[in-house]
């Protein structure tokens, strides 16, 4: 269940229990601080957060501060994950291990497709059917070979 779905089921005056990792709820301070305003009913200020045995009300100063501290750590954690992912991809790319999505057609098939299209006897739909690919794939192959 998403956080918005859970908020729809919650009712005023009840405590909303957060998962142990706030990063599962949202990955930025902006998203987390906006959660308290997404409750669908009037008087949503009564929505409280329960974390362990402690209860925090985002409407009071202590609850707001605690909420923002958790949000800051969640955003920091998400940023670290993105940074490490980019570094890992750069290393893999440098080693030649990250090649991206492979073309649907082999080099021979691409050459044959270009020749068949050049004759003018085959439409794009015919070529797509012959090579068992979609029409956009035929267009991309022809555009790639034109470069």
- pLDDT bucket at 8, cuts 50 / 70 / 90: low
Q: Does 134 score more than 50 pLDDT?
A: yes
| Interatomic CA distance for residues 31 and 29, integer angstroms | 6
Q: What are phi and psi of 56, to 5 degrees?
A: -125, 135
Interval 78-97 mean pLDDT: 92
* Token pair listed for 88: 């890992």
- What pLDDT digit, counting tens, does each position of 109-123 carry? 999 999 999 999 999
pLDDT at residue 64, rounded to an integer? 79
- pLDDT bucket at 135, cuts 50 / 70 / 90: very high
pLDDT at residue 20, rounded to an integer? 54
| Interatomic CA distance for residues 131 and 114, integer angstroms | 12
| SS percent in the chain: helix, strand, coil, step 5 | 60, 5, 30
- What pLDDT digit, counting tens, does each position of 9-50 carry? 666 666 556 555 555 555 555 666 665 544 544 454 455 667
* pTM over the 0.75 mark: no
pLDDT at residue 15, rounded to an integer? 59
Q: Residue 17 pairs with which residues in a beta bridge? A: 50
pLDDT at residue 146, rounded to an integer? 78
- What pLDDT digit, counting tens, does each position of 47-86 carry? 566 777 777 777 778 877 887 887 788 788 889 999 999 9
């Amino acid at each position: 269940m998403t956080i918005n779905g859970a908020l729809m089921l919650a009712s005023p005056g009840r405590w909303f229990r957060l998962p142990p990792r706030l990063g599962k709820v949202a990955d930025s301070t902006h998203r987390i601080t906006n959660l308290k305003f997404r409750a669908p009913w009037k008087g949503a200020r009564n929505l409280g957060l329960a974390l362990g045995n402690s209860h925090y009300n985002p409407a009071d100063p202590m609850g707001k501060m605690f909420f923002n501290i958790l949000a800051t750590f969640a955003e920091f954690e998400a940023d670290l994950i993105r940074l490490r992912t980019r570094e890992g991809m750069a290393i893999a790319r440098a080693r030649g291990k990250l090649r991206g999505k492979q073309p649907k057609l082999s080099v021979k098939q691409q050459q044959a497709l270009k020749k068949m299209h050049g004759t003018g006897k085959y439409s794009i739909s015919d070529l797509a059917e012959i090579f068992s690919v979609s029409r956009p794939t035929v267009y991309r192959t022809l555009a790639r070979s034109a470069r």
